[in-house]
């Protein structure tokens, strides 16, 4: 019988922006038991989307500061929660959603049992309607597919996104690692997850990613194009990461691919246009497409526009120039939030797990707990002679 704390944690995670839906067979609870101890699960239920210092969490959980700090640090090292910090200020801790979040931090920690449970859970975890309303990732074209005449915004071009960043981290792809462990992976490059700034600090400090320079990242984007990988940054104009994904391993792309019209689920500003008369029937684009949007019939390519997610992989290698990217009509271009904080809040609002009123109440409770915790632990501190 599963301990009640895991049910509580599952409901807590489901209230976060990314969601964590229940299943009839409880596979989501088995996943949590593999990742969290009972005490860690209990503590995680007290963390919110608002970063808070250890003494605040300690007060809320009824723990002493040393115990709470040790537990929070251990959970952060296991990739179960998030931590932020700045010079001269104490570290602060906050809840991490399961995807994108806890699961991606399990790189190099996978085992066959965890992989099997996750494979069973992915179809339930991906809620197509929720993703349609507020996707966590978006698709941008590979660099070589962008025609100089194509009107493109700065957040829609990978190279221009890289130019605006200062710190870079690359780490293994959790999806490709998972599929290889299940004996179903492809032979595409593994180290293809790019993070920026604070988003990459965990991977470096945990020893599962490495810092690199801007040119290395640009070279990696070229490698991704040659390998036929779709570029998927986080869904904001100032992304925290760019994933290089394949349709056979990526949890999102694999699931979206199973739907008849992936174009309606993925956030993308572009789609492909085919000049059938120019097609020479080489079939390169068919092999490159990760969504099966192209097929070869009687030595000519046919395009299913409802399956095209605008990644540009077919465009960058078409020797006849029969394929090109075009901008979608404005009403079919989903909004791109300004930053990750807005993106997460928007996802929560669209899933109806958070409203402006409930978020304001969450901030109010955090401020109250900070005040009470500050007074409580100041009074108990031996430094005050009490």
* Cα–Cα dist 186/174, whole Å: 13
* Cα–Cα dist 324/367, whole Å: 53
Residue 383 is predicted with a pLDDT of: 47
Sequence-separated (6 or more) residues with CB below 8 Å from residue 298? none
Give 284-329 pLDDT, tens digit per residue: 999 999 999 999 999 899 999 999 999 999 999 999 999 999 999 9
Residue 129 is predicted with a pLDDT of: 86
DSSP code of residue 139: E
Distances in Å between the alpha carbon of 358 and those of 51, 290, 308, 364?
A: 17, 40, 38, 10
Give 84-106 pLDDT, tens digit per residue: 987 788 999 999 999 999 999 99
Question: Percent helix, strand, coil in the chain (nearest 5)?
Answer: 50, 15, 35
From the list 280, 255, 256, the residue with the least C-alpha distance to 267 is: 256
* Cα–Cα dist 55/53, whole Å: 6
Residue 85 is predicted with a pLDDT of: 82
Give 119-159 pLDDT, tens digit per residue: 999 999 998 888 888 899 999 999 999 998 888 999 999 99
Q: What is the mean pLDDT of each run of 10 residues along the chain (386 residues)?
A: 95 96 97 98 97 97 96 97 87 96 95 96 90 92 92 93 94 97 94 90 91 97 97 96 97 95 96 96 97 95 97 97 95 90 91 91 96 88 44
Residue 312 contacts residue 296 (beta carbons within 8 Å)? no
Residue 127 is predicted with a pLDDT of: 86
From the list 30, 178, 168, 29, the residue with the least C-alpha distance to 104 is: 178
Residue 25 is predicted with a pLDDT of: 96
Residue 381 is predicted with a pLDDT of: 59
Residue 282 is predicted with a pLDDT of: 96
């Amino acid at each position: 019988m599963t301990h009640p704390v895991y049910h509580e944690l599952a409901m807590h995670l489901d209230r976060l922006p990314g969601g964590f839906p229940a299943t009839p067979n409880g596979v989501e609870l088995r996943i949590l038991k593999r990742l969290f101890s009972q005490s860690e699960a209990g503590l995680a239920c007290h963390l919110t989307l608002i970063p808070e210092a250890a003494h605040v969490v300690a007060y809320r959980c009824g723990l002493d500061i040393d115990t709470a700090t040790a537990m929070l640090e251990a959970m952060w090292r296991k990739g179960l929660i998030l931590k932020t910090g700045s010079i001269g200020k104490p570290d602060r801790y906050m809840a991490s959603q399961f995807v994108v979040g806890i699961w991606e931090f399990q790189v190099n920690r996978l085992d066959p049992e965890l992989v099997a449970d996750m494979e069973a859970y992915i179809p339930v975890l991906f809620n197509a309607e929720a993703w349609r309303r507020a996707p966590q990732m978006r698709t941008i074209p590979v660099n070589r597919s962008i025609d100089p005449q194509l009107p493109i915004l700065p957040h829609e071009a990978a190279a221009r996104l890289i130019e605006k960043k200062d710190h870079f981290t690359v780490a293994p792809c959790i999806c490709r690692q998972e599929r290889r462990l299940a004996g179903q992976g492809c032979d595409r490059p593994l180290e293809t997850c790019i993070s920026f700034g604070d988003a990459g600090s965990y991977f470096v400090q945990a020893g599962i990613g490495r810092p690199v320079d801007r040119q290395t990242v640009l070279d990696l984007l070229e490698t991704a194009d040659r390998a036929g990988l779709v570029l998927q940054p986080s869904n904001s104009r100032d992304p925290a990461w760019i994933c290089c994904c394949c349709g056979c391993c990526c949890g999102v792309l694999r699931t979206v691919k199973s739907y008849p019209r992936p174009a309606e689920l993925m956030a993308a500003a572009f789609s492909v246009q085919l000049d059938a008369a120019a097609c020479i029937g080489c079939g390169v684009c068919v092999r490159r497409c990760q969504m099966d949007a192209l097929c070869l019939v009687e030595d000519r390519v046919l395009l299913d526009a409802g399956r095209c997610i605008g990644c540009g992989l077919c465009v960058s290698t078409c020797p006849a120039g029969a394929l090109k990217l075009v901008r979608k009509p404005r009403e079919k271009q989903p909004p791109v939030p300004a930053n990750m904080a807005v993106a997460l809040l928007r996802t929560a609002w669209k899933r109806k797990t958070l409203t402006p009123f409930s978020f304001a109440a969450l901030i109010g409770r955090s401020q109250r707990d900070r005040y009470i915790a500050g007074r409580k632990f100041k009074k108990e501190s031996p430094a005050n002679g009490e």
